[in-house]
Structure formats: C-alpha cells, structure tokens
Amino acid sequence: MLSSKRTALEGGNCKLNADDIYRQNRDGIDSRTVPIPGKITGIAKGYRTFACREGKPRAAIIIQDNTIDALLITQQSDKDTVLLEVNNETLSFYASSVYFDYSEPIDSNIKTVERLLKFTKGKKLLLAIDSNSRSTTWHDIKTNPRGKVLEEFLAYNQLHILNEDSERTTFQSGRGSSNIDLTIANNHMLATIKDWKILEEESCSDHNIIEYNLTFNPDKEHKCSSQGPRFIM
C-alpha cells in the first residue's frame, strides 16, 4: 500500500495499514484504508501508533479507540511489517500491515507472509498489503511475474483476496494506475468482511481509500465455512 503505512483501529475509526480504518457501530466495524507514503507524521494526539522503532518504518497501525485492546507482536514486526492482536468485547483477530518492496525478490516478501500465517495459525487474520504486484486475479489489467508468483502462493495457502472489480484503481499517479493494494483474509476471517470498495474521496496520497465492513457475530463464531479461494476456477 505505501512506502509508509498507517493503520488505525477505532470503535469509530480504525486505519489498518494506512490501509484500513475501522469504524465500529452496532452492526460491526467499518474499515477504511488510506495508504500514505513517507514518514509516519501528523498523527493526531491521542492516537496509539504501532510501528517498528528501528529505521524508517514503512508499515504502521494506528488505533484511536481506547476500548480496543491491541498488542504489538514485536517478534513478527519490522519496518515493513506490523502485526497486532486486536481485542474488545465483540471482536478478536490479528491485523497486519505489510509493505512489499518492489526492489526485492517477491519470494522474500512471501516469506514474511508465511511467517505471519505460521504465527496466527487457527486464528482470524486480516492482511492489508501494498504488494507492488499486478494480476488480473485482483482486477488489474495485466499480470506481471511478481503477481503470478503471489497469486499462486495465495491460492495454495487458501488466502482470500477481497478486492472487487471497480472503475477506480487502488493506486494512481502520473506514471499510471494499478491495483497493487490488496485486502486479504484467511478462512477464519473471511465471513466477517463485507462491502469492499474503493472510495472517491481524496486520500492525500497516490493510493486511494479502501473501505469495507467487518461484522463479528459471537453466536456464529465457530460456524464459518469456506468454499476455498474465490479466484480458483
């Protein structure tokens, strides 16, 4: 999503990965994503920021709502990856903001996700990733070599791409546009995410705002089933 990501979780607002803002209400959580390149600056007073303290972070999660209990998993976080365990009265899941450096081999980026999957095995996991990878699987106009490797990895690990087809793209600049920003859920998390869309409002970034709803129903906590990754034909 960005050279620098912010993620905020809030009973009213939760930005995951400069990628996802969650607004919790009686029906669930409304999630928005706004990737913002550069240093993590200009954060409003009172927000909790989770990011690696070493070097210049390119991923972060910002939480505004004090009713949300969040724990930074330091052994799984670095300048390009942030993993949080998120809990309050109605929800419990892992949220991760990840930046894939386009100058690095895609295999090294995938190892990061493999590490997260191993750590969160059996738990709900939501990933907001600036993949710097293109694929028609996530509604880009073409598939590049990075995208091909990534789509095969996601299919093999039963990770679900939540991006929907849209007239807008997740990324646009003077150099062009693409859908490199991905919202991904594992089987346990899949049923909670609805209404994914790219908003038209200004994001103050070359990455557009992604919004979707997270709805948690404790009565159906153990009744979720999966048909498998939707993009396998």
The whole-number pLDDT of residue 43 equals: 54
**Best CA proximity match to 142, nearest among 196, 89, 104, 180:** 180
**Best CA proximity match to 97, nearest among 207, 184, 165:** 184
The whole-number pLDDT of residue 45 equals: 61
- The full set of domain ranges for the chain reads 7-220
- The dihedral region occupied by 79, where left means phi > 0, alpha psi between -120 and 50, and beta the remainder, is alpha
Q: What would the CATH number be for the domain defined by 7-220? A: 3.60.10.10
214 touches 128 (CB < 8 A): no
> Mean pLDDT for each consecutive 10-residue tract of the chain (233 residues)?
31 35 33 39 68 84 81 93 88 92 95 98 95 94 96 97 90 82 95 88 77 70 36 32
The whole-number pLDDT of residue 23 equals: 30
d(C-alpha 84, C-alpha 70), whole Å: 6
Distance from CA of residue 216 to its chain's centroid?
Answer: 17
57 touches 138 (CB < 8 A): no
The whole-number pLDDT of residue 112 equals: 97
